Amino acid sequence: MAPLAANGPKWPGTLLYVPVLYGLGWLGARPCALLFPHWRPDQVDLAGLVLSLALLLISLPIRLRRVWGAEHPWQGLGLAMPIHLAAKAWLRGALKGLFLLALVVLVLVLAGQARWLGELNTALLLNAIALMLGVGFAEELLFRGWLWGELELELGPNRALWLQAAIFALLHPWYRAPGLEAIGLLGGLTLLGLALALQRRADDGALWGSIGLHGWLVGGWFLAQKGLLQISPAAPGWWVGPGGADINPIGGLIGWIGLGLLLWVRRRWWPRHLSQKPETAELSLVISEDNNGPGANPPT
């Protein structure tokens, strides 16, 4: 993952870094309400998020060089690598995302709780692509890239793995769901955070696999719910997931089963790199893929 720095990050900087960027983005987007009076408040907020992401991309290399001691920041984050290796990692993650979506859709249809419509249009496809690229890239860069690296330097690999998943879950609006459905959604988000982190470990530090997995789950489910399926309103939330008209399947039993299967498939990666220096792990994907020698890790 990230190269070890002499001093490493300090908790105040880790805790304040993203909130400060978010605040700057929010403030920077306020003039949009005056410049574009026809914009809705949610569009102004979206502009603030885009500005915050831009600030993140600009400031991350600086922070990694100064705080992590990283000579190659984008390599330390798992982004910089030969294009064919990035594409392979992304495709492996995307295929796993498609498998999880297919499992949910198949179970719902066979149980009579959803009807296949198969309706698609250009607007739906463009929205889905925007979600795949935006949410998949931004959240993975933030949580499995920067945050996980900071936590590893503070706490070590094992505790950092669990804590990044917990923070990822807690920062999503799981609390909006009623009662036990909120707990189910919080648990599902935690499982997803673990699965995405293990995907990066399986890809030897490359972030593109978790970007593909996360992006396809978000964008693919948007397509399924808005055009491909008609889900019965009588389907129980504990089974299909909370959300009512906008169901989140990872909070239901079906999603838990799918994520549990993915974690089981990834079980051999739980102890991966726990005793390996981060700077060595950073290069192992390139070595294993290019050499194809006895020590190469097979694609998964």
- Please tell me which residue, 273 or 149, carries the higher pLDDT value: 149
Q: How far is 155 from 150, CA to CA, in rounded Å?
A: 9
Whole-number pLDDT of residue 273: 47
Helix axes 179-202, 208-223, angle to 10 degrees: 140
Pair 100, 250: CB distance under 8 Å? no
User: pTM for the complete prediction?
Assistant: 0.86
Q: How far is 130 from 108, CA to CA, in rounded Å?
A: 26
Q: Cα–Cα distances in Å, from 214 out to 4, 7, 94, 115, 117?
A: 27, 32, 8, 25, 24
pLDDT per residue as tens digits for the range 191-204: 999 999 999 999 99
Region 101-123 average pLDDT: 91
pLDDT per residue as tens digits for the range 10-57: 888 889 999 999 999 999 999 998 888 899 998 999 999 999 999 999
pLDDT per residue as tens digits for the range 60-87: 999 999 999 999 999 999 999 999 999 9
Whole-number pLDDT of residue 104: 93
DSSP code per residue over 172-233: S-GGGS-HHHHHHHHHHHHHHHHHHHHHHHHTTT-SHHHHHHHHHHHHHHHHIIIIIEEE-T
Output the average pLDDT for the chain: 86
Whole-number pLDDT of residue 7: 60
Is residue 291 predicted with pLDDT exceeding 60?
Answer: no
Residue labelled with tokens 């000579």: 71
Q: How far is 207 from 196, CA to CA, in rounded Å?
A: 9
Residue labelled with tokens 């990035």: 86
pLDDT band per the 50, 70, 90 thresholds, residue 95: very high
Is residue 286 predicted with pLDDT exceeding 50?
Answer: no
pLDDT band per the 50, 70, 90 thresholds, residue 170: very high
